[in-house]
Each structure stands twice: as C-alpha cells, then as structure tokens.
Amino acid sequence: MAALILFVPSGLPQSQSDQNLSANDLVRQVIAHELQMQDQEHTHWMYEVETVKAGVKETKEVAGTKDGTVSLLVARNGQPLPEDERKKQEQQMNAFIHDSAEREKRKHAAEEDAAKTKRLLSMLPDAFNFTYAQGSEDMGGAVRLNFQPNPAYHPSSREAQVFHEMEGTLTVDRKEKRVAEINGKLINEVKFFGGVLGHLDRGGTFDVRQARVGEDTWEIVRLNVNMKGKALFFKTISVQQDETHSHFQQLPENITLAEAGDLLVKQATHR
C-alpha cells in the first residue's frame, strides 16, 4: 500500500476535450502519464521522515542515491537523540554503507516495490469504476473522483486482490496529469487461499498523498495505512504505517552513499 504514488512533471498541456472525459478515461490518461514519467525520473532527494508507532514519533533523515537509499535516526518525540545513541546510529548507518550484501538486498527489495507499484497503478482504470464527485473540481484544477470495485475485473495477485476490495476517493490534478491523493477503505474481508494463509479485516484504510517538491517533481508527503487481520495459525497481524515526509532538498545526480551519509550527519548536527 505504501507504493501507490508515482512522479510526473508539471506543465503538461490541458486540451479542451479533457473537460469532457469520462471519469475512467481521465484516470486512464493520468495513470498513463505517471507510469511513463516514473521510468524517466531519476532525481535524488534528501528529506525528513516522521514515523509514529505506538505513540512514539521518530524522525529520520533520508537520502537517495543511484546506489540506493541511506537513512539516519536523529530524534525521538521531537528531541535529539542522546550522544551515545546518536553515535550508535551513525555507526549502524556506516556499517550499511560498507556492506555490499545488505546494500544489494535493500536495492532488490526497492526494485520489487517499484514493480508492484507499477502493476497496481496499471490496474486502476480497469479494476475500479470511477465517478466524478459532486462539486469535484476546485479553482486550482484538482478533481476528486469516487471509486468502487469493478465486478468484471479479476485480480491476479494478492496485492491486487486487496486493492480491488477497496472503495474511496482519488484526487487528481487535471492540468498536470498528477495523482494528488488516494483514500481507500476495505469494504470486504480479504481471504488468502480461502483463509488458509490468513485474511485482512473489513474496514482497513489507507491514505497516500503527494505534493510538488521541485520544479518538475512531486513526491509522497503523507502515508497512513491501518490494516488488521489474521495470519497463518491465527496469529494476529497488523499493518500500521503513519509517515510524514518533508524538507526535501535535491541532491547531485552522481552522489555516492558515503557522501549522502556525510550529508545526513551534518544535517543532524544542525537540528
């Protein structure tokens, strides 16, 4: 669920016929642009991630490079880490930077997530029936659409099965052909292999938002997932994710992981 948002550039032309598109055709047009531009987007960013779990807020500095992403825990509940813990976090970060096997493992996982993102976004126009929400368009060109599962669509993966049991709203920027926000709610219990491998409870929700962070690039700024269910042997499972991304700064195209790590340490000292 975390990987539902892609990147597309600003300034795409808006034709007169855009105003007359059906809701599903508008979504199909937007998703086509997003998928195309995701393959072309290679900008690297340093940013801040605030994660809330069990009432505790942790703040990380994150930096992306051509070789992967590096992160550094810098604060807890708004307070900088004690010096001994700060040094321990820096040591762990540096250990990762110099561990080629772990770097390759995380890079592979990130590539798999990106592939799932493309598959889920690709299914949007076919998996759901979209309608324009009442008073859906504001002065800024944002259009809100309601969506419900298309009963004629048959999901081919577990991720798609969960996604297809959602209903909610999709907000797009008509002018820039951007997905601005997706809010979904699980309207039915989802059983995996007839419930043998577990299930997700009805009522689970997710909210993903993105915004402009550079002249031509948008990024995820809010991610909230709240799912519950049962896994194999009746073990309770909980998919909880509450993140806010902010303070984006563009990094050089060829920055290395070691250089990115140094930047994170410097950023942490100026908090």
- Give me the residues paired with residue 228 across strands: 238
Tokens of 142: 């944002």
- What average pLDDT score do residues 204-213 get? 91
At residue 158, the 3 state secondary structure works out as helix
pLDDT exceeds cutoff 70 at 1: no
pLDDT at 2: 41
pLDDT at 232: 62
pTM: 0.83
pLDDT exceeds cutoff 60 at 182: yes
pLDDT exceeds cutoff 90 at 193: no
Domain residue spans of the chain: 23-269
CA distance 91 to 82: 14
- What are 94-107's pLDDT values in tens digits? 999 999 999 999 98
pLDDT at 134: 83
Please give the helix or strand (H or E) that residue 152 lies within, else none. Answer: none
Tokens of 261: 């790590």
- What are 217-270's pLDDT values in tens digits? 888 999 999 988 876 655 665 688 899 999 999 999 999 999 999 999 998 887
Q: Of the segments 4-13, 66-75, 136-145, which one has the largest average pLDDT value?
A: 66-75
- What average pLDDT score do residues 112-132 get? 90
Phi-psi region of 40 (alpha: psi -120 to 50; beta: other; left: phi over 0): alpha
pLDDT exceeds cutoff 50 at 10: no
Lowest mean pLDDT among 74-88, 128-142, 230-244: 230-244
Helical segments of 46-166, H only: 83-97, 100-127, 158-164
